Structure 1
Amino acid sequence: MSKKVDLSHYTLRQLLEMEACTRCGECVAACPTYAESDENAEIHPQRKIARAKDFWKADHLGFLARLFGIKPATDGDQEAHSDGVYRCTLCGRCHVVCPVQIDTRSLWISMREQLVDWDLYPEVFDGLRDRLTSQYNISGDDNANRLVWTQNMDHVPEGLEAKEGAETVYFMGCVGAMYPRAYGIPQSFAQILERAGEDFTTLGSGEWCCGFPLQIAGMGKDAYDLARHNVEAVRAIGARRLVATCPSCYHTWAHEYPRMLDEPLGFEVYHSVELLDEMIAEGKIKLHGFSQPITYHDPCDLGRTSGIFDAPRRVINAIPGIQFTEMEDHGELSLCCGGGGDVEMADASVTAAVSKRRIEQAQATGARVVVSACQQCNRTLAEAARKNKIRMRAMDITEVVWQAMQE
């Protein structure tokens, strides 16, 4: 028997937005997962809205729903809806092209919350929830290893382990802290901060996952304790700002935590590109050059979701003699790398297809390095280059800046 829609998962605005959909199809043309999935009807953004709208109307409008021919959902309808909703990278490109500006990304997350209540979500997310609520990181490793990336450094900056009174807390993020392929990001950024004379520290083993993977899985309720712990840990240090190299962490701290906790944080939140931009403008770091031609990939959670497009480009263009070429799709219409929305856990083939298209766009610029400002994008694009035998290196902008400071 099909489950009933709980309208508490949707805001009044979202219910009105579903009504406002004109079925114009602009979102369909913009959707990277739909384009790379043999046009699977369930991934169709317009179809997802139509299904969700019919579900709640059939359950809550009674005679009016029957009058307009809206039939109660079957188990098969709800299962098909889940298939489409969880094969989405939550890139937000559909929102940019929507003529009535439906906040599709938030709508997809609300749909996931309903599907979690219905127990119609990929089983792999149970493991994700268990890891984040017991080990406090996405890898499931001992969280005491948050600073393992420092072990092969010739020089380790002092005071990295929760130094009381530090002005800045560097929030490393699970991927940067726990995955060897991404170690170069915290290594580079920590050395940049030290070279710039910043008084900084990290939360060390006291850093817990920001909770973003749970939020976008539709399990946001399980992220509250992570948020409360992290915020109190920063307050205990007495820092005036927090900086993250991961856009998803940044977005969660800057935009989700104040809402989740229903209180101001009491400190500023920066993404690393904003702080790099600021330090370059103030002359705190000196850039000497970067020898290879590059292109830049806008991370979805940094660009479309958080509105940060100019700062990374100012940082790149501040490097003397830089050879920088934009990809065909960039800025607000940048293509997703394929690694967002927890979709790789739900269906890795979607990630492989979308990332292939993006790395081919990067290759078309003639660049030898695709630069991003996201640990997950960096990992996904590097894997796409390897799988598709494309001679291109993926680097984070912090790694590029640190290298430019050496040359």
Structure 2
Amino acid sequence: MTDSPADSNVYRHAGFIAFLTARLVAVFATQVQAVVVAWQVYDLTRAPMALAYVGLAQFLPMLVLLLPAGDLIDRFSRKPILAASWAAGTVCSALLWWLAGHGAAGVDGIYAVLVLFGCSRAFSAPALSSLLPQIVPRGQLAQAVAANGMIMRMATIGGPFLGGVLYAVGGARLAYAVCMACFALGTLLLARVAVDHAAPIGPALGSMFQRFGAGIRFIRSRPIILGTISLDLFAVLLGGVVALLPIYAQEVLHVGPQGLGALRSAMAIGEVGAGLYLSMRPFDHRVGRTMFAAVAVFGLANLVFSLSTVFALSFAALMVAGAADMVSVYIRGALVQFSTPDEMRGRVNAVNMLFIGSSNELGEFRAGTSAAWVGAVPAAVLGGLCTLGVVGLWARLFPTLRRVDKFEEAA
């Protein structure tokens, strides 16, 4: 059954609007917390390796909890799992608020809290992606993916900028108090989300290891899924510059915490602009080639940023990188959703989120380590070049992905 013209716009679904609102405040809290933790830790230690440990502390729990998270999300209702993970985020922000009064003595405690936060994200990230197809009909899924990505990027504009301002005005404790309130609000708003397109949950067959093994075999049998998620992993893992922004803000561009917040927001501004366009005019033609082109532009923009010593040029380069990343995220998200049956979304999205977490948190560890070894600027330049190399290699390794024309072909 198809949607009537009156219902063709995804924004007409009350459940989807409630979902976007809840996610907006939760991602807002995550972004504020990320910029404040990075600035606070570097301000207390002045050590690039300290930033590396910030990423590693959040990645390792995601790696350990990959198997149970994906299995639970496929076996039980996804909304309560998401609510519990956001409630855990509220607790983490409260603990960071308490530790902020301990100065350098609280850095080890911050790492411990980030481990707990990584545990909550191991469940929240795949639950979010798996819940979306249960809220909107399949015909509106691509538009919902674009709108969802745009809303998330809106939070990443205001979050880092406000995080820098809050840190400058009231210190870390004020920023963490705002994060705590936002996580709590997101948890409450989630109760208003209507799940109208959820398929019945079937009986669990075999052990948890056997069920997760079935998910891994499914991914390996689908070159479109495997190529899509692994391209994101290696492109951002090797080429991301977000972890180096505190160093660039202080030592290359010579701006304060407000400048750091602006740099963190620059990518999000580009992402929101591209996401707004895609949510209003989603495309469904030559999606494979477009995705590879977008990742290449992402690498080139990061390369420009790495060599820039002018704040305006650095800001513009990050905006371009953000817009290119949004196009890639839109295509990747839609391809994975169209390629995966509902009963396997939890396991597939858990692996996908692990890859995304690897590219982000483990990428922060890579960037921090490289900066400690060779310096921030050489590490960033090398990362941009590696991203371009990954694009060329993946285009040869996954020709099926490169030739995908329409999203429905991924099914």
Does the TM-score normalized on the shorter chain lie above 0.5?
Answer: no
Larger Rg: 1
Indicate the TM-score class for this superposition, using the shorter chain for normalisation.
Answer: under 0.3
State the TM-score, normalizing by the size of structure 1: 0.25
State the TM-score, normalizing by the size of structure 2: 0.25
Higher fraction of strand: 1
Q: 1 or 2 for the larger relative contact order (CA 8 Å, sep ≥6)?
A: 2
